[in-house]
Amino acid sequence: MTTEPIDPDSGPARLYRDLLDTWNRRDAAGMAALFTHDGSLVGFDGSQIDGGPKAVEAHLAPIFGSHATPTYVGRVREVRELAPKVALVRAVTGMVPEGRRELNATLNTIHTLVAVEGGGTWRAAMFQSTPAAFHGRPDLSRALTDELRALLPVPAAEGAVGAEASMTGVGNTARWIAASRAKESELALPLFSDPYARELAGEAGFELQRHMRAAMGAQGDGPDLYLSIRTKFLDDALVAAVRTRKLHQVVILAAGMDTRAFRIPWPSGVRVFEVDRDEIFDHKEAVLGRAGASPSCDRFIVRADLARPWTTTLTAAGFDRSKPAAFLVEGLLMYLDEAEAQALLTVIGSVAASGSWIALDAVNPEVLTSPYTARYMNALREAGSPWKFGIEDPESYFRQRGWAATVVQPGDPQASYGRWPFPTAPRGVPGMPRTFFVTAGKAS
Distance, in Å, from the CA atom of 276 to the CA atom of 303, rounded to the nearest integer, reads 5
pLDDT of residue 99: 61
Count of alpha carbons within 13 Å of 369, Cβ hemisphere only? 9
Residue type, 81: E
| Mean pLDDT within 428-436 | 94
Average pLDDT, the chain: 90
| Mean pLDDT within 200-205 | 92
Q: Which of 355, 344, 353, 255 is nearest to 303 (CA)?
A: 255
Distance, in Å, from the CA atom of 12 to the CA atom of 6, rounded to the nearest integer, reads 9
Q: pLDDT, tens digit, for every residue of 272-300?
A: 999 999 889 999 999 999 999 999 999 99
Distance, in Å, from the CA atom of 196 to the CA atom of 287, rounded to the nearest integer, reads 8
Q: Which of 13-27, 211-225, 351-365 has the highest mean pLDDT?
A: 351-365
Can you list the domains of the chain with their CATH numbers?
A: 11-152 (3.10.450.50), 163-216 (no CATH), 225-442 (3.40.50.150)
5 pLDDT band, cuts 50/70/90, is very low
| Mean pLDDT within 4-31 | 82
> Does the pLDDT value for residue 390 go beyond 60?
yes
Q: What pTM does this model have?
A: 0.65
> Does the pLDDT value for residue 233 go beyond 70?
yes
Please, what is the end-to-end C-alpha distance for the chain in angstroms? 48
Q: pLDDT, tens digit, for every residue of 144-194?
A: 888 888 787 644 333 333 334 356 677 789 999 999 999 999 999 999 999
CB 326 within 8 A of CB 238: yes
Where residue 6 falls (left for φ over 0; alpha for ψ -120 to 50; beta otherwise) is beta
pLDDT of residue 340: 94
pLDDT of residue 195: 94
CA distances in angstroms from 132 to 19, 136, 139, 371, listed in the order given = 19, 12, 12, 61
Torsion of CA 117, 120, 121, 124, to 10 degrees: 0
Percentage of the chain lying above the pLDDT 90 cut? 70
* Strands 249-253 and 271-276, bridge-based pairing: parallel
pLDDT of residue 166: 52
Contacts of 188 (CB under 8 A, 6+ apart): none
CA distances in angstroms from 73 to 21, 163, 228, listed in the order given = 9, 17, 33
Q: pLDDT, tens digit, for every residue of 53-109?
A: 999 999 999 998 888 788 899 989 999 999 999 999 999 999 887 766 678 888 899
> What sign results for the dihedral spanned by CA atoms 340, 342, 345, 351?
negative
Chain centre distance of CA 306: 13
* Strands 121-131 and 271-276, bridge-based pairing: unpaired
Q: If DSSP states are collapsed to H, E and C, what string results for the chain? A: CCCCECCCCCHHHHHHHHHHHHHHCCCHHHHHCCEEEEEEEECCCCCEEECCHHHHHHHHHHHHHHCCCCEEEEEEEEEEEEECCEEEEEEEEEEECCCCCCCCHHHCEEEEEEEEEECCEEEEEEEEEEECCCCCCHHHHHHHHHHHHCCCCCCHHHCHHHHHCCCCHHHHHHHHHHHHHHHHHCCCCCCCCCCCHHHHHHHHHHHHHHHHHHHHCCCCCCCCHHHHHHHHHHHHHHHHHHHHCCCCEEEEECCCCCCHHHHCCCCCCCEEEEEECHHHHHHHHHHHHHHCCCCCCEEEEEECCCCCCCHHHHHHCCCCCCCCCEEEECCCHHHCCHHHHHHHHHHHHHHCCCCCEEEEEEECHHHHHCCCCHHHHHHHHHCCCCCCCCCCCHHHHHHCCCEEEEEECCCCHHHCCCCCCCCCCCCCCCCCCCEEEEEEEECC
